[in-house]
Amino acid sequence: MEWEAVIGLEVHVQLATKTKIFSGASTAFGAEPNTQACAIDLGLPGTLPVVNEEAINMAIKFGLGVNAEINKVNVFERKNYFYPDLPKGYQTTQLDKPIVGAGTVDIALEDGSVHTVRIHHAHLEEDAGKSLHEDFAGMSGIDLNRAGTPLIEVVTEPDMRNAKQAVAFARKLHSIVTTLGICDGDMSQGSMRFDVNVSVRPKGQEKLGTRTETKNLNSFRFMEAAINKEIQRQIEAIEDGFEIIQETRLYNGDTGEARSMRSKEEANDYRYFPCPDLLPVVIDDSRLDKLRAEMPEMPEVRKARFIEELGLSNYDAEILSGEKATADYFEAAAKTSGDAKLAANWVLGELAKTLNQNDTEIKDSPVSAEMLGGLIARIKDNTISGKIAKQVFDALWKGEGSTADEVIEKKGLKQVTDTGAIEAIVDEVLAANQAQVEQYQAAEEAKRGKMIGFFVGQIMKASKGKANPGMVNQLLKKKLG
């Protein structure tokens, strides 16, 4: 049977405010345990929350960034459960009246099409602290520095069908929140954490299968692996005659192992009710107008600009605008090189391949956008060929020079465009391959195109790739008749 996976995401995005959502304690990462947990964060008796304006503003910006409705009256509720990292015994969150309503995010699929993922809603809530399990003689240590850090939880509709789509969405979301400046996007510090809901169903079936939720994935790679593993697990279980149990699962990125955390039956009864310590948050038009005016260029808008102004294809524009870091890189490279299409090809081709092979993020690329732009400029002005350019790129990657010109100069890779010099090489190669010359001349016109490639290859080899391929072709055609 052919199976189809159905995937929805819940994404926790830590907002880049200076202070907690309900207290004036700092949110800076990496402080000594409990030095940024004030009386309010600790839930000490008699303390009260007051809402951080910037958290509200950032959530609104997110809503504007995903074309969502902003709920002008939104309400904080208490979600009740006991856990040591949850100081008050309830999480202050939003349920019925979240700040951000339904919206959309577009992602590029591998087949070149563009797919829309619907956002169900996004709500504001407070983060929990952390439990540390080492070194306390059988006890756990609780650090509440993170408790009260503002989060938006973005909940999608189940609109993704495979891990690649889920990752594409996650990357796009990353781009949106970093473009907006509402999240530092640092996944290794937990600034974005993904819960993935996965179910499978026979292809063509409308009804959704039973889903599981794998929590707290904090890298794109882990997310992809965890989803693929879970899809596989579910398919195998069903094919072996088992039923899927609705449960929460954990995936260990380091070992690649997944396991059940708790099943829905023993899940908590959260007893949500409106938080009586807080009043409804009312967002007026003047706040909305002000925030709208402050919005940076969003990926969608940038994409449209890439198509209209730079002449990129829909697909290339989607991919290049998807992540802010990539888009910034591309624009800088396009500007330096003076050829946007060539820059797009390089960023999506050689650069993407090399980044991937070396497991490197674009922001950490040893070849900067300016370096790549300089390299492309040399292709454009015929100083080097595309093939030589790859050598120059590799050299730049390895740190063998700080500009393309430096590498070209040092390695003597400058393209030979002198007709006389190229002609000498052509003559040499033709003389050395007389049999092939005769074959060529006896061949029908239709087969000659393919055969000429042999001579081009020999000539490029003899010139160490430096001969201008256009000129080589012209000379060959003339000499071979």
Partner 1 sequence: MAIDRSTIESVAHLARLSISEDEVRQTTDKITAIMGLIDEMQAVNTDGVEPLAHPLDATQRLRVDEVTEPNQREQLQAGAPATEDGLFLVPRVIE
Partner 2 sequence: MSDPTSTKPIHQQSLAELSGALQAGKVSSVELTQHYLDRIKQLNNKINCFITVTEEQALEQAKAADTAIAAGNASPLTGIPLAHKDLFCTEGVKTSCGSKMLDNWVAPYESTVTGNLKAAGTVTLGKLNMDEFAMGGSNENSFYGPVRNPWNKEMVPGGSSGGSAAAVAAGLAVATTGTDTGGSIRQPASMCGITGLKPTYGRVSRWGMVAFASSLDQAGPMARTAQDAAMLLNVMAGFDPKDSTCMDRAVPDYTATLDQPLKGLRIGLPKEYFAEGLDAKVEQVIRDAIAEYEKLGATVKEISLPRTHHSVAAYYVIAPAEASANLSRFDGVRFGYRCEDPKDLEDLYKRSRGEGFGSEVKNRIMVGAYALSAGYYDAYYAKAQKIRRLIRDDFLKAFEEVDVIMGPTAPTPAFPIGAKANDPVAMYLGDIFTISTNLAGLPGMSVPAGFVDGLPVGLQIIGPHFEEARLLNAGHQFQQETDWHLHTPSEA
Enumerate binding residues for partner 1 (CB under 8 A): 17-19, 23-26, 31-40, 42, 44, 50-56, 75, 82-85, 131-133, 136, 138-144, 250, 261, 268-269, 271, 274, 276, 278-282
User: What is the rounded CA–CA span in Å between residue 81 and residue 363?
Assistant: 40
Least distance CB 15 / partner 1 (angstroms): 10
Least distance CB 35 / partner 1 (angstroms): 4
271 is an interface residue for partner 2 by CB under 8 A:
yes
In this structure, what DSSP letter does residue 74 have? E
Neighbours of 1 (CB within 10 A): 7
User: What is the rounded CA–CA span in Å between residue 149 and residue 99?
Assistant: 17
Binding-site member from 12, 25, 49, 325 for partner 2 (CB under 8 A)? 49
Least distance CB 57 / partner 2 (angstroms): 17
User: What is the rounded CA–CA span in Å between residue 61 and residue 177?
Assistant: 9
420 is an interface residue for partner 2 by CB under 8 A:
no
Binding-site member from 73, 279, 295, 424 for partner 2 (CB under 8 A)? 279
Find out whether 452 and 401 touch, Cβ atoms under 8 Å: no
432 is an interface residue for partner 2 by CB under 8 A:
no
Closer to partner 2 by CB, 131 or 419: give it. 131
Interactions with partner 2, residue window 189-248 (CB under 8 A): none
Hey, what are 413's tokens?
């890779």
Closer to partner 2 by CB, 38 or 291: give it. 38
295 interacts with, out of partner 2, partner 1, none, CB within 5 to 8 A per kind: none
How many Cα atoms sit within 13 Å of 388 on the Cβ side?
Answer: 29
47 interacts with, out of partner 2, partner 1, none, CB within 5 to 8 A per kind: partner 2
Binding-site member from 46, 399, 412, 420 for partner 2 (CB under 8 A)? 46
> Which residue type is seen at 425?
I
Closer to partner 1 by CB, 271 or 335: give it. 271
User: What is the rounded CA–CA span in Å between residue 331 and residue 316?
Assistant: 13
Closer to partner 2 by CB, 20 or 324: give it. 20
Least distance CB 128 / partner 2 (angstroms): 13
Binding-site member from 73, 84, 360, 470 for partner 2 (CB under 8 A)? 84
Closer to partner 2 by CB, 280 or 366: give it. 280
Hey, what are 423's tokens?
């002609």
By three-state DSSP, how is residue 326 classified? helix
Residue from 156, 180, 152 nearest 65 by CA: 180
Least distance CB 28 / partner 2 (angstroms): 22
Hey, what are 357's tokens?
């092979």
Find out whether 101 and 63 touch, Cβ atoms under 8 Å: yes
277 is an interface residue for partner 2 by CB under 8 A:
yes
By three-state DSSP, how is residue 81 classified? coil
282 interacts with, out of partner 1, partner 2, none, CB within 5 to 8 A per kind: partner 1
How many Cα atoms sit within 13 Å of 417 on the Cβ side?
Answer: 7
Least distance CB 394 / partner 1 (angstroms): 45
- Sequence-ordered list of residues with C-beta below 8 angstroms from that of 153, at least 6 positions apart, any chain: 10, 11, 12, 13, 93, 122, 123, 125
Least distance CB 177 / partner 2 (angstroms): 27
User: What radius of gyration do the chain's Cα atoms show?
Assistant: 29
Find out whether 214 and 195 touch, Cβ atoms under 8 Å: yes
Binding-site member from 20, 61, 88, 146 for partner 2 (CB under 8 A)? 88
Binding site for partner 2 (CB under 8 A): 39, 42-51, 78, 80, 82, 84, 87-90, 142, 269, 271-273, 276-279
